[in-house]
Structure formats: C-alpha cells, structure tokens
Amino acid sequence: MSIDISQLTLEQKASLLSGRDFWSTKEIAEAGIPSIVLTDGPHGIRRQAGLADHLGIHDSLPSTCFPPAVAIGSSWDRDLARAVGQAVGEEGVAFGVSVVLGPGINIKRSPLCGRNFEYYSEDPLVSGVLGTAHVQGLQSAGPGASVKHFAANNQEAERMRVSADVDERTLREIYLPAFERVVTEAAPATVMCSYNKVNGVYASHNPWLLTRVLREDWGFDGAVVSDWGAVNNRVEGVRAGMDLEMPGSNGATDAQIVAAVREGRLDEALVDASVRRVLRLTELPHDATDELDVDGHHALARGAAADSIVLLKNEGVLPLAEGASIAVVGAFATAPRFQGGGSSHINPTRVDVALDEIRALAEDRGSRVSAAAGFPLEAEASASEVEALRAAAVEVASAAEVAIVFAGLGDREESEGFDRDTLLLPEAQVALIRAVAATGTPTVVVLSNGGVVSLEGWHDDVAAIAEAWLLGQAGGGAIADVLFGTVNPSGHLAETIPLRLEDNPSFLNFPGEQGHVRYGEGVFVGYRHYVTAGVPVRYPFGHGLSYTTFRTDAVEARAVGDDAVDVEVTVTNTGDRAGKHVVQVYVSTTTGPVRRPLRELRAFEKVSLEPGRTRRVALRLDRRAFAYWDVEIGDWVVPGGAYAIEVGDDASSVVAAQTVTLTGDAIVRELTMESTVGDWFGHPVVGPQLMAGLAASMSPEQAAQAEQNADGLRMVESMPMQQFLVFTNGAIPIEALEQLIDLSKTPAPAA
C-alpha cells in the first residue's frame, strides 16, 4: 500500500522519523500507517514482552540461539550462513518483527574487542560474503535486515563517542567492503549507523558515510536506522541521510526537525525522502504468526555449530577411539558458554550441555565417562577451593585413557560494552590444563570463547585443541559430534591466533586516547600484517584441520579481459572419510604505486568430498580482486602488471600458484608543477616526449654524460618539477611544460 505523504502534516512526517518506544515505530492510524517492531538480533530473536533494554538485562521470549557470527565466520560456508539467516527471519515472523537488527559485520581489528563474538572475521571478504548470505536468507523469510554497525565500530571502549581516525584507502579496502557487498548484493532493508565518529564526524550525521558512500557510490535505497541512542544532532542527521532514530526521544527531536524546516534551516524535501524510506519498512510483515519450529531450528543450530568448530591441533587423539574411558573436566562442560552478553543475548528454547551429549554418544560406543569441574566459575573462589577442584580433576584424568578439558572465557571476561585487556585464559584454567596434561593422559582442550585467546604456556603440552568459540544453544551437541567424529570438523580460522598480543598490528593504537583511535596500521589488519611483515603466529588465518586429508593440485588461472581472472583448482579427498575443504584463493602483487599486503584473500569456496573423490572448483576473480583505492584519483584502480594467484591451506601456506599478467586500467594521472621529476619522466604519455625532447636538445657529449650520471638523476627523481626548474637554469621552458601538463590529461595507451 502506498501512502500519499502530501496528506501528512510536517509534524506527522517528523514523528515518523523516530521510535515510539524501545522497539517500535509510531503509527498514524488515520493515515493507515502501522507501527512496526525492530529488534535484535544477529543470531536469534530477542523479543522483549516486558521491560525493554538494549544490554541483555531484562528477559525476552524464548527463541533459538543460533551460533553467533564468530562461529559462522569460521564455517566459511555461505550456504550455512544463508540457512541460519533464513531461520532467524522465520522466527522474526513468528514474533511479528519487521526488522531484525543484524548481522554485525564489523572487522575484527583487534582481538581484544569485546564484541568480536558478534562479528565474522578480520577479513572483509569473509565478512561480506557471509553477511550477504545471512541477509539474503533472512529477508527471504520476510523481515528486513539491519546490517550493522556502519562504520568503523571496531571497539567497545568509548564506543559512543570515540573518533575512528582512518584514512580513506583503509576505509575503502578494509572497513567498508563488507557493507558494500551486503548492500549491493543483498539489498538489506536497513543499515544501522554506529555510535562512534568517523574521522571526527558522528556516523549518525555523517553525510560522507550515509549519503556519498552508502547511497551515491553503492546505490543503497533502504533506510538508515540509528544504533540505539546514537543520535547526536538530529537535524544534521536528516541532512546526512539518517532516516529513523531509535529508540526515539519522546518527541523532542521530532520538534527539532519541524523547527528546522519552519526556520528554513532544513529542506523539507529531505524530510520527505526519509519519510518515504521509513514508510517502506511498514510494508514488511508485522503480524506475529507464533509459529516457531523449535526442534527443526535446534537441529539446524547443532549442524551449523559443528561445521564452525576449528580443529587447531590433533596428534592422533581425535576422533575419540571406541571404548576409550574419557575424563571430562572443566566447568564449561556442564555450564556451557554459548553466547555473548549484551544486546544479542537470547533466551534460548533449550540448551545442550556438552557433558550430557558426550555421555549419550559415549554410551553407544562402549566408552565410560567420568567428570570433574576442575575450576570455579565464580571470581570469589579462594585459592584452596581452586586447588581442591584442580586436584579432583587431576585424579579423574589420571584414571582415564583420554582427558577433555573444557576451558574458555566467562561472561565476566568478555561482552558488549567493554573490551578485554589480555588474551590470556584465567590462571586457574591454565593451571588445570597443565596439571591434567602432566598426568600423561592424552589431553584434548575444547575452548569456548568469543574473542581469540592465547594458547601459549600450554599449547605444546596437549594432544589436541578444538576452538569451539561460542556456538549457540546446540553447541554442546555439536562439540560431542566433532569429538566422536560423527561430524568431521571443517571450520577454519577467520582470524589469526597470534603468539603475543603485542604482535597484533593495532596494538600500539588500541583503543586510542583522548577521544581518538588512530587506525595507524592502515590496510595491514590481521593476517595482512602478519604475512607481510613475516611475524610468526600460533595459527594463521585460514587454518583448520580435518579427520581426512585433502590435496590441491594444479591451479589454472587465465586473464579475462583487462582486469579479471578465471581460476580453476583441483581438490582431492585423499583420506578415508568424507569431509569438507575450503579452497582459499589469495592474490599477491607488487605492481602499482601503493604498498599492498603480501597476499589478500580474494575468493573462497567450501566443498564437500567423499573419500577418494576429486573436484574441480571454478572461481571468478573480478576487478576488485586486483584493485586498490587510489586516493589521488578517488576511485578503484587496477594497475597493469603481474599478479600471483595463490591457493593456500591458510594465509601462510601457499600450496599451488600461478602468475597472470593483467593489462589493468588506462590511468590518467594529471601532472602539475608539484609532480616530481620521476612522475614527469614516468608518465606514460608525457615521459617519452620529455625524453625525446631532452635527447634532441643534447649534444652527443652531454648525452654520454647524462648516461654516466644515472645516479645523479636518482637524486632529483623525488624533486618537484617546480624546484627542479630552478636548478636547470631555464633549460626547460615553462611554456613547454604547460603544454605537457595539458597532454598529461589524455588517457595513456593500453600497456
């Protein structure tokens, strides 16, 4: 139904641009405009029926808690992300939710960010591809998505006012592409602007971000919603394209909009544009169906969780042998940590407990299971209580043939709202792992954590490590499935596990100070830094083991046109059980005028293979796989030259590669008197003319001298032409240079 907004008064229109209460918009009954509900969240529906809040404090109606983004990110599986998105959308319809606030697709700049559990990856491609699939799935079920938090919201410290100071190339190449992909490929109903400032201007009234980039460059035609309470200047916000303020201000900011229009400070056409965009949201489904597929969605959550677990290390102890006696120790085995704190907090329909699930599977296999808590979850426990728990666990482990330690981070250690200051596991847990391993019983560590934890100090003592992240309500069953081999693990790290916090490229600039956080590492985020600077890590981005083995044979890469490449990769399952493999395609180049990371992930595909089977996987790398953001031109540029197409088991291990040469873009780089001598001589059109002119004006002796003096030329290469002229004593007439400046504006011939 389309509403004629010319029938609405200015006051009515302004009223539509902010919420009625915490989770809903205002209705205008006489105009047939309904109120709609927007609610969290990323991995399940948090529908509050009583007291409302955005910090996960008050209760919400039971819904399925699917694996949070940290887990889905590690699955590298777009079909899985789509299926989870669709199920979240279906639950949204059940609860009458029109807009579901998620997914979160911010980049994990620092492993310390308290909200990393809500984000997919340190890499923009993984974040963008999985975010796109989630939004497509969610919106196919009916509701609209709200992709968040736009933009450069990569920490919790000072999140409501810090200025993320990021250069444009870094924004375009690292922090914006995931949003760009979701917007251009999945057309989310809304984008949620973040709390923070971007380069000094609040995201909620940042015209560069919300209009120039989002709408003009990417063609977004949905509505921008504020993060809850993110509005700082409502009138500036309307001007910048921030349509819907949530949760609303009890009419105060609506009145500001009205006054600004009346006083001629705000164009009413901008208000109308925002109203039209908000009205489109009211066409989304909003009547609750109350139909919840509790069992089906729990099963989906279990499968998704299992495919997200990353087997980091395995010295032959997994999958667990039939009949082995198993000691299960660690408090998370009985008190699962399966979701993070804050606005994404779900009241789950049920929760799988790992110990129960292990017992159930062990019974079928003739295994005995004994258990001990191993460490306290309460911070107040005394040293003697900690010791007693550890001693009891050591006894249980000593008597078993294999020990499984459930370690990780508690709600106290990580959450929305604050960042961590260490990667270390709590001391009592490290002591437990070491003590259990010291019994000589082969030890498996299962980790439950939303942000990366350090494995140092105990990694070498244990036989296997499974990174089980936060897996949602069915995580306990999924862990049992992987331990016993019912599911062959296929997760891969979507973020690096460093040796030391200090090695992380954001270390010196996180979380900033005096209101600013400087993204000083530029595009060298996560593995882009580690592989380029040769910094050793514990486990690289992309790493993940399986119970079977895969072989990658030939890579065939062939240029398509000037700036795209078709790649074919052959993968074989060389082991004896079915499994899933992730083909990771990286691009590496030194061509072009800017410093590039040693390699960057540009395509990936998860494939399922029966033992002995081979598959050819075809992938297209489009121009963006080779482009960098050129700040002088203000656009993407593909420089002509050689590009290595590398297939890696992870970001550090290339298993097959082939180089292709691309023609690239014909760049018009205009010369000025400030351009350097090197720029002038290196210019594809002007350079040759300048050379020819100089050669013609030189005597053979001068030419021979110039040849000999090549080093001298290097010394003036970086000198601006203006200064160079001073030293040439008028040898190059300024008129000739002016003509050459005009000539520099013509496109260069293709290389």
| Site of interaction with ligand BGC (CB under 6 A) | 40-41, 54, 101, 148, 227-228, 343
At residue 545, the 3 state secondary structure works out as: strand
Neighbours of 107 (CB within 10 A): 27
Question: Which of 108, 225, 117 lies closest to 175, judged by CA?
Answer: 108
* Distance (Å, whole) CA 659 – CA 445: 41
* Ramachandran angles phi, psi of 310, nearest 5°: -105, 115
CB-CB contact of 642 with 559 (8 Å): no
- The residue among 118 and 563 lying less far from ligand BGC, judged by its C-beta, is 118
- The residue among 76 and 119 lying less far from ligand BGC, judged by its C-beta, is 119
- The residue among 26 and 623 lying less far from ligand BGC, judged by its C-beta, is 26
* Distance (Å, whole) CA 434 – CA 125: 37
CB of 629 to ligand BGC, least distance (A): 27
Q: Which residues contact 314 (CB under 8 A, 6 or more apart)?
A: 463, 464, 545
Neighbours of 302 (CB within 10 A): 25
- The residue among 346 and 464 lying less far from ligand BGC, judged by its C-beta, is 346
CB of 159 to ligand BGC, least distance (A): 8
* Distance (Å, whole) CA 632 – CA 630: 6
CB-CB contact of 405 with 455 (8 Å): no
Question: Which of 117, 101, 125 lies closest to 67, judged by CA?
Answer: 117
At residue 79, the 3 state secondary structure works out as: helix
CB of 101 to ligand BGC, least distance (A): 4
CB-CB contact of 515 with 163 (8 Å): yes
Question: Which of 518, 545, 540 lies closest to 529, judged by CA?
Answer: 540
CB of 416 to ligand BGC, least distance (A): 7
* Distance (Å, whole) CA 356 – CA 42: 28
35-48: b (≥16 Cβ within 10 Å) or e:
bbbbbbbbbbbbbb
CB-CB contact of 335 with 373 (8 Å): no
CB of 124 to ligand BGC, least distance (A): 19
CB of 140 to ligand BGC, least distance (A): 21
Which helix (H) or strand (E) segment holds residue 312: the answer is strand 310-314
* Distance (Å, whole) CA 544 – CA 653: 12
Our measurement of the distance from residue 658's CA atom to the centroid of its chain's CA atoms, rounded to an integer in Å, reads 28
Give the alpha-carbon dihedral of 509, 511, 517, 522, to 10 degrees: 40
Q: Residue 586, by phi and psi: left (phi above 0), alpha (psi -120 to 50) or beta? A: beta
- The residue among 107 and 523 lying less far from ligand BGC, judged by its C-beta, is 107
Give the alpha-carbon dihedral of 152, 604, 484, 357, to 10 degrees: 40
CB of 469 to ligand BGC, least distance (A): 19
CB of 117 to ligand BGC, least distance (A): 12
Tokens, residue 271:
């208000």
- The residue among 114 and 128 lying less far from ligand BGC, judged by its C-beta, is 114
Greatest Cα pair distance in the chain: 95
CB of 341 to ligand BGC, least distance (A): 12
- The residue among 26 and 528 lying less far from ligand BGC, judged by its C-beta, is 26
* Distance (Å, whole) CA 571 – CA 648: 12
- The residue among 69 and 266 lying less far from ligand BGC, judged by its C-beta, is 69
Sequential DSSP letters for 406-420: EEE--TTT-BTTB--
Amino acid in position 119: Y
Question: Which of 405, 376, 278, 354 lies closest to 20, judged by CA?
Answer: 278
- The residue among 284 and 333 lying less far from ligand BGC, judged by its C-beta, is 284
CB of 402 to ligand BGC, least distance (A): 41
Question: Which of 186, 189, 106 lies closest to 146, judged by CA?
Answer: 189
- The residue among 119 and 550 lying less far from ligand BGC, judged by its C-beta, is 119
Question: Which of 698, 699, 681, 682 lies closest to 690, judged by CA?
Answer: 681
Question: Which of 352, 300, 370 lies closest to 477, judged by CA?
Answer: 352
Which positions are annotated as active-site residues?
A: 227
- The residue among 18 and 552 lying less far from ligand BGC, judged by its C-beta, is 18
- The residue among 43 and 602 lying less far from ligand BGC, judged by its C-beta, is 43
Burial class (CB in 10 A: 0-12, 13-18, 19+), 524: buried
CB of 68 to ligand BGC, least distance (A): 12
Q: Which residues contact 228 (CB under 8 A, 6 or more apart)?
A: 22, 54, 246, 247, 343
CB-CB contact of 99 with 284 (8 Å): yes
Amino acid in position 6: S
CB of 458 to ligand BGC, least distance (A): 34
